Amino acid sequence: MLSHRLSHASWWYAYYFWLFVAGFVILFSGFHVTGSRQTVIGAWWSKLTLRRHTWRPQKSWEKMMTRHFKHRQPSALPSDAQLFSLAIITIVIVAVTLAGPDYIAPKTRPSTMRAMIRRSEPVLTGPPTHDVNKDWWTVGDRTGLIAFALYPFVILLAVKAQPFAILSMPFVLQLNFDKLCRLHRYTGGVIWVLTALHVITWTVQLVKDKRSSCCEVPLWVFAWSYPKFLWGWSSFFFMTILFSSSLSMFREGHYEVFYGLHFFMIPLILITSALHHPPVAIWCWVALSLWLAERIWRAVRFSWINGIYPREKGSSTSYGTRGRGVGSFSAGPYSELPTLHDDRSSIRPTSLYSNPSVPLISPDARQFSNAPPPGYARADILPGNLIRLSVVSSRPFTWAPGQYALIRIPEISKFTSHPFTISSICDQATTERPPLVVLIAAKNGFTNDLWNLVNRKAKEGPQESTSLMSTGRSAILRTHVDGPFGSASRSRWAKFSTVVIIVGGSGVSFGLAIMQFLCLCMNGREAKSLSYSPGGFVHSAFRTTRVRFIWTVSEFAKIQWGASVIKRCMDLVGGNERTLQISIIVSFSRAKKTPDSLDVTSMRSAASSTTSFPISESPSTADLLNPTPESSTFGSLDTPLSQSSTLPADNEENYHPLDFTNFDGEDQSRTAAEDKLSSQIQKAGAVRRRATMHRKATMELQRRATAKQEAEIVRSPDADPDLEAQGFLSPEITSSPPSGSLLLTPEGDKESGYFPSDPKQPTSARSVGFAEPAVMVEDPEEPAIHMSDKDMHLADMDPEEAAAVKFLSEYARHGSLRDIKKIESILKAEKAMSHGALAVACCGPLALTAAVRKAVAAQIDPGAIAKGDMSGSISLMSEEFDY
């Protein structure tokens, strides 16, 4: 068997592969660090590679529309850019595996490879002295060589922590595992295929070769007594187990088993492979060293962040019962963590972040809050089977906007952790340690176990052993975190004039983090103090002047998930619609009418009849910005899905109402309390919108009357006595409603903007109503609809969060984004208003991200960029979970 071994000159095929990888990384790293993605060439590249193709059989569509079939997202290919990357890597691997002679004579240089000279001897007693093009043993050796060379590459794509994750470094590609996972899995599959070919070809060769002393007995029989042969079979056996467990059908249902097999099989595969063929074992040892170093580094960092190492003396804090000062911990009902989710009435929102030295929360807020002690998390149960987990790490932990962390709950699993996008931001300018907040939708496996654990602990109440209280619909859990990870840190948000955030369902986590970061920066905060470090050499001043936030959910009650944060962001920008425009689209409402409920459609018609002047709105975006029963796919706002007989308008695909809001596996069941909460929010939103329209009409009439009066005064010293009789000279209106209604155009309405921290603004029922959840602005012609404390406590909201939900109800409208043309209309309208490049941040179910990709690709205009109009440049930053 020594005669069937590749020469050192033949190893150059493996080196060629790594030379290509190095050149590719250097080239695209140059594009990243110099910010060259917004050139004409970059625009053409994005336009051609952003799209992602999805499909769904018509039978599946029909079954889901009957509600007798569990909803599933459509099938999809990777994005065109990922397909292109996979094609390139496939071509390179095939080339270094098949091109040229397999065996290169020892004295032949790589640049002077000679043509094929076939050997004539059936069995060689020594290494060949000439090139061998193709033979069973040469093909087997070469496939094995390339498989070995791919070991460090597949590990490099898998490691997450810097500095070992070289591709995620700020001055390289800054791509983390979330973007490289698909390539990692594909490369792992290629290694298995190459190894299988190696096994097959060598099996044929050993069957053909005969041992000279035994004549007809093939070498295959004697090979089993050869230790290196046994190491090879062991490696292939371990690799087959790992490959089988990585298939989606097994991985999705048995993630913990998949994770455990990865942890144990990787070192076994690399060690047995190295023992199988020591001459090229360097590839195995490099891969194993990289993997072990990263695991040890993460274990040390994990232990430090989560306080496993002992603290210094005097640094411990006692967490006992309620009311023991700043260091104490208490957990009363309906209270909130002191995070950006809070909206304390004692804090002036617009001035809170105007100075970087101002802390994220008031100094005494922690004393009265429910913040868990370091090393623990507060888990709140929210409508829609969602857990809001607010983690305070034992030691400082920073993350960039949009990144994710690995969460481990020891009570559920002591060894496995799971990735979740961080919905909060890390403010390094505050003395308080910012909590890490994640939104976890209950599905199966870990998330279902977490849901059951929180429900059980919430019912048990106080935990006497730790003096930590679990009250109402919340619980305190010991929690470990690892990270941060994610490629969101590479996004250069500062260089975009406008940022459009489109999120669906629990994907709002990503959107909330980005929106908070942008609003704080637009309010005067330094981006670096918010852990913003995109890398590269070219950095520009913060240019963002407008944020458009679009969130599609399946139920009105689910707006509680982000209500406090959205309300906080609106306060930061002073409620200015030109700066931050909010649109919440509820696509799947099944709320039933009650005898005492109001007809929202008739209410909307009545509201329109009270307006005697046209509200300016772009005809091209009217249906989108103001969904009406006629323009909605669902018919009237209160029409159940079952009454809709029309298929979606998109001519490419059939979209289910849950495609843009629900991830696969999410529980679609609802409680009666959630139904009631959804109904209350829907009614309250309708009344608030009607009140806003009434005030706008009155303010417009007053403005016109004032202008007319001034004109009459210019013509005559006496005022027109008829004006007062007509009511145009009414006393000064004391309302300043928020301008976030979907009735407004993208430009907004300056007169209807509200500025909660401006002392010059008149005090209105709405502006002071946030301190008292039961107070609402009422139209004198309609009966009041109150979301009382009892209704709000259906979701165990505290008064501040209840006020935020009530505030946000005005922005929540029943409609649909299922038509891709609507998304394109949004982008087209934003391009027309933008004074520079646009960015689109997207996170949600597969169907939503695919639709947004198609819309962005359609609106990119390289021709406009060539003419100097940067509004034709649109960059997409997506967080996708289907890898």
pLDDT in tens, 13-42: 999 999 999 999 999 888 888 877 778 888
Q: Say if residue 296's pLDDT is above 90.
A: yes
Q: What is the pLDDT of residues 426-482, one digit of tens each?
A: 888 776 778 899 999 998 889 999 999 998 888 876 554 343 444 567 899 999 999
Q: d(Cα 595, Cα 592) in Å, to the nearest integer?
A: 10
Residue 275 sits in the same domain as residue 371: no
DSSP-assigned states of every residue in 695-712: HHHHHHHHHHHHHHHHHH
Q: What is the pLDDT of residues 541-567, one digit of tens each?
A: 788 999 999 999 989 999 999 999 999
Q: Say if residue 298's pLDDT is above 90.
A: yes
pLDDT average, residue stretch 593-615: 32
**What count of residues does the chain have?**
883
Per-residue model confidence (pLDDT) at position 320? 33
Residue 207 sits in the same domain as residue 278: yes
Number of H helices, E strands in the chain: 25, 15
**For residues 469 and 331, is the Cβ–Cβ distance under 8 A?**
yes
Poorest-pLDDT segment among 265-279, 324-338, 649-663, 707-721: 324-338
Q: Of 24 and 120, which is predicted with more confidence?
A: 24
Mean pLDDT, the chain, as a whole number? Answer: 74
For 881, the 3-state DSSP assignment is coil
Residue 378 sits in the same domain as residue 472: yes
Determine, yes or no, domain membership for 851. no
Highest mean pLDDT among 59-63, 638-642, 726-730: 59-63
In degrees to the nearest 10, what's the CA dihedral of 244, 245, 250, 252? -140
Chain-centroid distance of CA 78 in Å reads 17
Strand-pairing partners, residue 388, are 380, 439
Number of C-beta neighbours around residue 401 at 10 A: 29
pLDDT band at 651 (very low <50, low <70, confident <90, very high): very low
Q: d(Cα 704, Cα 722) in Å, to the nearest integer?
A: 14
Our CA angle for 489, 881, 81, nearest 5°, is 70
Determine, yes or no, domain membership for 228. yes
Our CA angle for 855, 857, 859, nearest 5°, is 70
What single-letter DSSP state applies at residue 381? E
- In order of 572, 578, 740, the CA distances from 750 in angstroms are 16, 8, 11
Per-residue model confidence (pLDDT) at position 728? 32
For 680, the 3-state DSSP assignment is helix
Q: Say if residue 649's pLDDT is above 70.
A: no
Residues 6+ apart with CB under 8 A from 660: 504, 505, 552, 587, 817, 818, 844, 845, 847, 848, 851
Per-residue model confidence (pLDDT) at position 63? 66
Q: Record the tokens describing residue 513, joined without a space.
A: 């983090």
Q: d(Cα 261, Cα 243) in Å, to the nearest integer?
A: 10
Q: Of 783 and 115, which is predicted with more confidence?
A: 115
Per-residue model confidence (pLDDT) at position 412? 92
What single-letter DSSP state applies at residue 482? E
Poorest-pLDDT segment among 32-46, 203-217, 369-383, 824-838: 203-217
pTM: 0.76
Q: d(Cα 766, Cα 775) in Å, to the nearest integer?
A: 8
Which backbone phi and psi does 392 adopt, to 5 degrees?
A: -115, 110
Determine, yes or no, domain membership for 364. yes
Per-residue model confidence (pLDDT) at position 705? 80
Q: Say if residue 73's pLDDT is above 90.
A: no
Residue 389 sits in the same domain as residue 267: no
Q: Say if residue 294's pLDDT is above 70.
A: yes
Q: Work out the burial of residue 760: count CB atoms within 10 Å of its CB; fewer than 13 is exposed, 13-18 middle, 19 or more buried.
A: exposed
Q: d(Cα 785, Cα 801) in Å, to the nearest integer?
A: 18
Q: d(Cα 821, Cα 805) in Å, to the nearest integer?
A: 30
Chain-centroid distance of CA 865 in Å reads 29
Per-residue model confidence (pLDDT) at position 379? 93
Residue 281 sits in the same domain as residue 360: no
Poorest-pLDDT segment among 569-583, 604-618, 723-737: 604-618
| Parent domain of 131 | 8-49+83-304
Residue 286 sits in the same domain as residue 358: no
Per-residue model confidence (pLDDT) at position 36? 73
Determine, yes or no, domain membership for 387. yes
Residue 280 sits in the same domain as residue 371: no
Q: d(Cα 752, Cα 565) in Å, to the nearest integer?
A: 22
Per-residue model confidence (pLDDT) at position 587? 82
Residue 681 belongs to what H/E stretch? helix 672-715
Determine, yes or no, domain membership for 236. yes
Q: Of 145 and 730, which is predicted with more confidence?
A: 145
Residue 300 sits in the same domain as residue 398: no
pLDDT average, residue stretch 169-179: 90
Pairing state between β 580-586 and 546-553: parallel
Per-residue model confidence (pLDDT) at position 9? 83
Q: What is the pLDDT of residues 231-241, one digit of tens each?
A: 999 999 999 99
Q: Of 329 and 396, which is predicted with more confidence?
A: 396
pLDDT band at 96 (very low <50, low <70, confident <90, very high): very high
- In order of 80, 624, 627, 682, 818, the CA distances from 644 in angstroms are 34, 19, 16, 20, 14
DSSP-assigned states of every residue in 769-780: GGGSTT-----T
Per-residue model confidence (pLDDT) at position 324? 30
Q: What is the pLDDT of residues 382-426, one digit of tens each?
A: 988 899 999 999 988 889 999 999 999 999 988 889 999 999 998
Determine, yes or no, domain membership for 372. yes
- The structure tokens 């397999």 sit at 102
Q: What is the CATH number of the domain that holds 446?
A: 2.40.30.10
Residue 43 sits in the same domain as residue 144: yes
Nearest Cα to Cα of residue 684 among 595, 803, 567 = 803
Q: Say if residue 5's pLDDT is above 80.
A: no
Nearest Cα to Cα of residue 176 among 510, 488, 530, 513 = 488
Q: Say if residue 319's pLDDT is above 50.
A: no
Poorest-pLDDT segment among 249-263, 729-743, 842-856: 729-743
Q: Of 164 and 1, which is predicted with more confidence?
A: 164
Q: Record the tokens describing residue 168, joined without a space.
A: 């995620």
Q: Say if residue 537's pLDDT is above 80.
A: no
Q: Say if residue 217's pLDDT is above 90.
A: no
- In order of 379, 585, 598, 813, 828, the CA distances from 626 in angstroms are 36, 10, 20, 8, 16
Q: d(Cα 113, Cα 122) in Å, to the nearest integer?
A: 24
Tell me which of 470, 487, 504 is where a domain ends.
487
Residues 6+ apart with CB under 8 A from 603: 686, 687, 690, 782
**For residues 532 and 564, is the Cβ–Cβ distance under 8 A?**
no
Determine, yes or no, domain membership for 191. yes
pLDDT average, residue stretch 279-295: 96
Determine, yes or no, domain membership for 466. yes
- In order of 352, 625, 769, 773, the CA distances from 693 in angstroms are 30, 15, 18, 22
Q: Work out the burial of residue 843: count CB atoms within 10 Å of its CB; fewer than 13 is exposed, 13-18 middle, 19 or more buried.
A: buried
Tell me which of 454, 487, 520 is where a domain ends.
487
For 617, the 3-state DSSP assignment is coil
Q: d(Cα 873, Cα 859) in Å, to the nearest integer?
A: 9
Poorest-pLDDT segment among 154-168, 174-188, 354-368, 548-562: 354-368
Q: d(Cα 548, Cα 282) in Å, to the nearest integer?
A: 52
Per-residue model confidence (pLDDT) at position 653? 52
Residue 136 sits in the same domain as residue 241: yes
Q: What is the pLDDT of residues 706-756, one digit of tens each?
A: 877 777 665 554 444 443 433 333 333 333 333 333 333 333 343 333 434
Half-sphere exposure of 39 (CA within 13 A, CB side): 8
Q: Record the tokens describing residue 608, joined without a space.
A: 């329109």
Residue 231 sits in the same domain as residue 353: no
Residue 300 sits in the same domain as residue 393: no
Residues 6+ apart with CB under 8 A from 680: 785, 787, 791
Residues 6+ apart with CB under 8 A from 400: 426, 484, 486, 488, 489, 531, 532, 533
Strand-pairing partners, residue 378, are 390, 476
Query: What's the structural domain count of the chain?
Result: 2
Q: d(Cα 802, Cα 383) in Å, to the nearest integer?
A: 13
Q: Work out the burial of residue 485: count CB atoms within 10 Å of its CB; fewer than 13 is exposed, 13-18 middle, 19 or more buried.
A: buried
Radius of gyration of the chain (CA): 32
Which backbone phi and psi does 502 adopt, to 5 degrees?
A: -120, 115
